[in-house]
């Protein structure tokens, strides 16, 4: 029992330390944004790139939100089998590219478009998201003359059911961690649904090619950010303005949610960021201990006081982080609907997806299957 109890205390301390660093750096990040003004970066030309595969239900609305942003817009059709291409081709303000037959996948589509883009800065966006009216202007305002990449916030909409609200609260937490990690400089996180970078810097680091030589269906965002952080430390930014937010639909059911998060977890081995891998490993171990600790306590292998301490620590520290994040992104009301059950569901999800990510099973995305 002593060994299990000791492990519980060590993992709880690690989790509190990790979350405490994120919280502190988020608070400092917000203070810096309010107390100082970035030097005006030289004006640049922008290209917005939207890779699309079978997005006929969403693509028109996405492009509508981009037309008046003042940028070149390129959609890359990744061998869609629905009406995506015909919908895009009818919008005169948008350039439609067809991905060559010998190429497939999001990274290939993005790389193909970037190679011919006229913009000095590239913004990538998923084909099912909606940009705010001043989205690109807000992303541009987040950079200075030394910045090579800007990660923007992604929120979920609509959020009508409990499950959708839970996902929205989880996204708030992820955005806080993204901003805090970029300020820390230990590792880089971001979401390709709202990411901008210098085309010159992209070419200097070799684009989306993974340093490990491994490839995945996605992972474009984490691979690129990891390489940019290594070569341009301190020159990555987060756009905290509410106007920089893009909105994407939540997953409709548990199966699609698991597929999405499983795919995301597959990116970890591609980015070559040891501090990120260590952080994710400790967070996974802590949550695995929380879930496994319940049957172990019933078997008398774990002290009930240490398990209660671990759960109480998670519930309290997560609430503090999620409250400040939800307040900043105008999602504070979601906590009242979700939080009483959020902690247990979150622990189960982190432990489960983290474990699945270690196994060589197939996951599915956009009608294609791939192994981790």
Lowest mean pLDDT among 192-206, 241-255, 281-295, 337-351: 337-351
Domain match, 187 and 86 both: yes
| C-alpha to C-alpha distance for 153 and 245, rounded to whole angstroms | 5
Query: In whole numbers, what is the pLDDT of the chain averaged over residues?
Result: 88
Domain-located, residue 105: yes
Query: Is 218 in the same domain as 352?
Result: no
Q: How far is CA 88 from CA 28, 54, 84, 91, 288, in A?
A: 42, 12, 6, 6, 45
285 and 178 together in one domain: no
Residue 268 CA to its chain's centroid (Å): 12
Residues 45, 194: one domain?
A: yes
Range 313-324 average pLDDT: 93
Torsion-angle region of residue 71: left (phi > 0), alpha (psi -120 to 50) or beta?
A: beta
* 34 lies in some domain: no
Structure confidence at residue 123 (pLDDT): 97
Tell me which of 5 and 44 has the higher pLDDT: 44
Answer with the residue of higher pLDDT: 37 or 131. 131
Tens digit of pLDDT for each residue in 173-196?
A: 999 999 999 998 888 888 989 999
Q: Is 29 among the domain residues?
A: no
Averaged pLDDT, 258-265? 82
Residue 264 lies in a domain: no
| Within a domain: 32 | no
Q: What is the residue range of 306's domain?
A: 2-23+275-371
Q: Give the pTM.
A: 0.89
Closest CA to 128 of 107, 158, 108, 170: 158
How high is the pLDDT of residue 363?
59
Give how many domains the chain has, as a whole number: 2
Q: What is the pLDDT of residue 5?
A: 78
């Amino acid at each position: 029992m002593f060994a299990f109890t000791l492990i519980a205390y060590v993992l709880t301390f690690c989790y509190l330390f990790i979350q405490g660093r994120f919280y502190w750096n988020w608070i400092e990040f917000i203070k810096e944004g309010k107390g100082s003004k970035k030097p005006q970066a030289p004006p640049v030309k922008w290209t917005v790139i939207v890779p699309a595969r079978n997005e006929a239900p969403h693509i028109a609305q996405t492009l509508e939100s981009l037309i008046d942003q003042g940028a070149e817009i390129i959609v890359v059709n990744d061998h869609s089998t629905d009406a995506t291409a015909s919908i895009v081709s009818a919008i005169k303000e948008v350039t439609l590219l067809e991905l060559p037959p010998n190429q497939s996948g999001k990274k290939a589509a993005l790389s193909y478009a970037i190679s011919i883009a006229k913009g000095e800065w590239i913004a990538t966006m998923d084909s099912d998201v909606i940009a705010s009216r001043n989205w690109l202007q807000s992303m541009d305002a987040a950079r200075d003359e030394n910045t090579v990449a800007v990660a923007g916030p992604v929120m979920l909409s609509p959020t009508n059911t409990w499950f959708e609200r839970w996902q929205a609260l989880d996204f708030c937490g992820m955005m806080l961690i993204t901003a805090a990690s970029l300020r820390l400089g230990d590792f880089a996180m971001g979401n390709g649904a709202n990411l901008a970078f210098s085309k010159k810097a992209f070419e200097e680091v070799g684009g989306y090619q993974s340093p490990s030589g491994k490839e995945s269906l996605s992972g474009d965002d984490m691979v690129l950010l990891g390489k940019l952080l290594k070569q341009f430390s301190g020159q990555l930014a987060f756009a905290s303005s509410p106007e920089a937010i893009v909105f994407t639909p939540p997953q409709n059911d548990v199966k699609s949610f698991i597929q999405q998060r499983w795919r995301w977890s597959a990116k970890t081995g591609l980015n070559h960021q040891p501090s990120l891998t260590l952080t994710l490993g400790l967070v996974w171990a802590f949550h695995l201990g929380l879930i496994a600790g319940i049957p172990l306590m019933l078997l008398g292998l774990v002290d009930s006081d240490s398990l209660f301490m671990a759960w109480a620590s998670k519930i309290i520290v997560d609430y503090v982080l999620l409250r400040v994040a939800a307040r900043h992104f105008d999602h504070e009301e979601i906590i009242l609907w979700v939080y009483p059950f959020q902690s247990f569901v979150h622990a189960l999800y982190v432990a489960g997806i983290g474990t699945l990510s270690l196994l060589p099973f197939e996951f599915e995305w956009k009608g294609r299957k791939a192994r981790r």
